Amino acid sequence: MRRTLEPYLWLLFSGGGVVAALLLPVLVLLFGVLMPLGLIDWPTQAELAALLDPLLVRLALLVVVVLCLFHAAHRIRFTSEEVLGVARFDLAVAVLCYGAAVAGGVVAALLLF
């Protein structure tokens, strides 16, 4: 029996979906609605730097970014195969989508650390 990476990719997809569903609406509310309307003050650069100072916060933020990227990559992969009919190029689409997610994770890690 041949083993595949598919269960692990579905695990990253579901983890990213949970993270996106729980955290992204709060971020959109804060940075997209409340702060532009002036209901909450914008954080200063010093406040943001202090927030990102602990290593645990940077690691948590990296996990959130990577899980969201893998969630998006999985959605794009299977949606493009269904809608665009490119299922015969499954390997190329998978490498492109998950490679972009890995590259985005590396860029996020470089920016955070």
Confidence (pLDDT) at 54 = 96
Confidence (pLDDT) at 104 = 98
- The amino acid at residue 99 is G
* CA distances, 86 to each of 34, 57, 75, 89, 94 (Å): 42, 40, 14, 6, 11
Confidence (pLDDT) at 81 = 86
**Beta carbons of 66 and 108 less than 8 angstroms apart:** yes
As a whole number of angstroms, the distance between CA 24 and CA 83 comes to 26
Confidence (pLDDT) at 1 = 77
**Beta carbons of 71 and 20 less than 8 angstroms apart:** yes
Confidence (pLDDT) at 50 = 95
Domain boundaries defined on the chain: 6-112
Confidence (pLDDT) at 65 = 94
Chain length of the chain: 113
pLDDT along the chain (113 residues), means of 10: 86 91 92 95 94 94 94 92 87 94 97 94
Fold category of 6-112 in CATH:
3 helical TM bundles of succinate and fumarate reductases (1.20.1300)
Confidence (pLDDT) at 3 = 85
